[in-house]
Amino acid sequence: AVDCDFAGVIFLHKRSRIETVAATDPLIEKVDQVQVDIGQGPDVDTLQNRLSVIVDDTHTETRWPEWAALVAETGIRSMLGVRLYTSDELLGTLNLSSRQPQKFDGDDQAVAHVLARHAAVAIATARKQENLWQAADARKIIGQAQGILMERYDLDAERAFAVLIRYSQDNNIKLREVARQLVETRSLP
């Protein structure tokens, strides 16, 4: 939909960690890592306070001089970055790059926004569904662990759950992990 030489997707994890999750070429992962390493660049700005950024030419870019110089050395001359977000969540950025300077214009930016919006909705929906499955699995495994403790130590459900919670907190282990290990090994980790 937008003519470019390279494309990539960056995810933002826990509001601070940036990760390239998809790239059409290993070069894009390296370019993305430059932004992470030096803390500047169009994706960093897009994640912090912009909906999109166009870099017309890395040879003349002045907003992020260190980033631009390093990226220009790779042969990438222009870039279009668009925020991936929903009304509830900032997910990351969609990035398009070209070896040609001044490759992207307002029309490309509009198309990229539509693509990013659709991708963000799909990603957010998939994450929510995955979280629901994980929650259901965790509930099931915790119930099994409770049953083991109830049978083994003649506890009621409330006390068995309290044992799991206390063990989880005292050992700084997630409750579902304590339960999983108890079910698998038949003993507390």
Tell me the two tokens of residue 59. Answer: 């040879």
Beta carbons within 10 angstroms of residue 121's beta carbon: 15
- pLDDT given for residue 127 in this prediction: 81
The whole-model pTM stands at 0.72
- pLDDT-flagged residues of the chain (< 70): none
Q: How far is CA 120 from CA 6, 32, 69, 94, 145, in A?
A: 19, 19, 31, 10, 37
- pLDDT tens, position by position, 13-33: 887 789 999 999 999 999 999
Instruction: Outline where the chain has alpha helix (H).
Output: 26-38, 42-49, 65-72, 106-153, 157-171, 175-185
- pLDDT tens, position by position, 116-135: 999 999 988 888 888 788 87
Give the whole-angstrom CA distance, residue 183 versus residue 147: 9
Q: Which residues contact 84 (CB under 8 A, 6 or more apart)?
A: 9, 90, 91, 92, 93, 94, 116, 119, 120, 123
One-letter amino acid at 144 equals Q
Give the whole-angstrom CA distance, residue 15 versus residue 12: 6
One-letter amino acid at 82 equals V
Question: Contact at 8 Å (CB) between 43 and 95?
Answer: yes
Average of per-residue pLDDT values in the chain: 92
Give the whole-angstrom CA distance, residue 189 versus residue 169: 13
- pLDDT given for residue 187 in this prediction: 83
Helix axes 106-153, 175-185, angle to 10 degrees: 50
- pLDDT given for residue 51 in this prediction: 94
- pLDDT given for residue 159 in this prediction: 92
